[in-house]
Amino acid sequence: MLKIAVVTGASSGLGRAYARQLDRMTSLDEMWLIARRAERLQELAGELECKCRVLPMDLKRRESVEALEAMLAEERPEVAVLISAAGFGKFGRAQDLTAQETEDMITLNCRAAVDVTRVCLPWLERGSRVLEVASCAAFQPLPGMNLYAATKAFLLRYTQALRWELRERGVKVTAICPFWIKTEFMAVARDTANPDAVAHTPFAMRPEAVAAWSLTMNGLNRGLVTCGPIPLAMELGSKVLPAWVPMALWDKLRKL
Ligand SMILES: NC(=O)c1ccc[n+]([C@@H]2O[C@H](COP(=O)([O-])OP(=O)(O)OC[C@H]3O[C@@H](n4cnc5c(N)ncnc54)[C@H](OP(=O)(O)O)[C@@H]3O)[C@@H](O)[C@H]2O)c1
C-alpha cells in the first residue's frame, strides 16, 4: 500500500519546514504537497529525496478538497502523516477587515482545515500522525487580531475532540499552538487596512525549530504542543484567568 504524507501550506514557512523534516525522518513512498503556488511546490519537490506529488490547489475552493478526496479514493493509500499548515491571519479589528478577508480567513483556517482532515480520515492507519497547526492565539480572545484568534480557537477545539475520536484507532493527533514564527505570515497579516493593529512580533521562532519540536511531541503522542515558554504561559494563563485579563494585557502589548 502506498504510504504517504499530506502536507498543506507546503509552499512556505512552517509547512515547508515540516516537509523537509519529514523527508529526513520518515520513510514514505510519496509526499503530497499542497498550496496555491505551483512553482514553490515544484522547487521543494526538487529538493526532497522523497517522491513528491505537487498539488497546486486553492483550499478555499470546495473543488480542491473534492479533487483531493477523489485522488485518495483512487490511490487508496495509507496516510501516515497529515500536516494541516495552510492558513493565514490579518491584523486589525473586526471592523477593519473586508467581507472578503473575513470570509477567506474563516474558510481557509476553519472549513478547509476540517475538510482536508475529513477526506484523509478513511486512510489513516494505526500509528498515523495528524498535526493541525493552530496557534497560541487560540488560547484567548485577541482584540486587534480578533478573527484570526477565533479561527484558531475553532481549530484547537476541533483537534482536541478529533484526538479523542481517533484514540481507539491508534492515531496520534496534535494541535500545534506556537507563538510568532519567522515566515511569510507577517507580510500577509500586515497587508490589511490596519497593519499597525499589532505593532511588533517579538521573540519569533524559526519554522525549522517549531516543526522539529512539534513532530517530536506528536511522536510522543502529546495532544497540544506550544513550542516555547511564552505560548505555554498563555495556555496556562487562559486556564486560570478570566478572559478579560489576557485580553487587557495583550491590548496594551500589541500597541507598544
Ligand atoms: N507565523 C506565525 O507567527 C504563526 C504563529 C502561529 C501559527 N501560525 C500558523 O502556521 C500556519 C503556517 O503559516 P506560516 O507561518 O508558515 O505562514 P506562511 O509562510 O504565510 O505559509 C502559509 C501557507 O499557507 C498556504 N496557503 C495560504 N492560502 C492558501 C489557500 N487558499 N490554499 C492553499 N494553501 C494556502 C500558503 O501557500 P500559497 O500562498 O502558495 O497558497 C503557504 O504555504 C498557519 O496556519 C498559521 O496560522 C503561524
Q: Is 148 a catalytic residue?
A: yes
The fraction of the chain above a pLDDT of 70, given in percent, is 100
pLDDT at position 153: 98
Name every residue whose Cβ is closer than 8 Å to that of residue 143 and which is 6 or more positions away in sequence.
93, 247, 250, 251, 254
Q: Are 144 and 93 in contact (CB under 8 A)?
A: yes
C-beta neighbour count of 32 within 10 angstroms: 24
Mean pLDDT for 140-163 is: 97
**Domains present along the chain, CATH in parentheses:** 3-253 (3.40.50.720)
Spatial separation of the C-alpha atoms in residues 172 and 180, rounded to whole Å: 25
Spatial separation of the C-alpha atoms in residues 47 and 168, rounded to whole Å: 37
pLDDT tens digits along 215-242: 999 999 999 999 999 999 999 999 999 9
Q: Which atom of ligand 1 is nearest to the CA of 104?
A: 31
Q: Are 132 and 158 in contact (CB under 8 A)?
A: yes
Q: Which of 185, 191, 201, 232 is the best mutation target for the ligand 1 pocket, counting ligand atoms within 8 Å of the beta carbon and taking the most?
A: 185
pLDDT at position 25: 87
pTM score: 0.97
The pLDDT of residue 132 is above 90: yes
From the CA of 89, how far away is ligand 1's center (Å)?
Answer: 8
pLDDT tens digits along 184-202: 999 999 999 999 999 999 9
Mean pLDDT for 126-134 is: 98
For cell 512556505, what's the residue?
Answer: 12
Q: Are 35 and 111 in contact (CB under 8 A)?
A: no
Q: Is the dihedral of CA 223, 224, 227, 233 positive or negative?
A: negative
Going through 65-169 in order, the beta strands assigned E by DSSP cover 78-84, 129-133
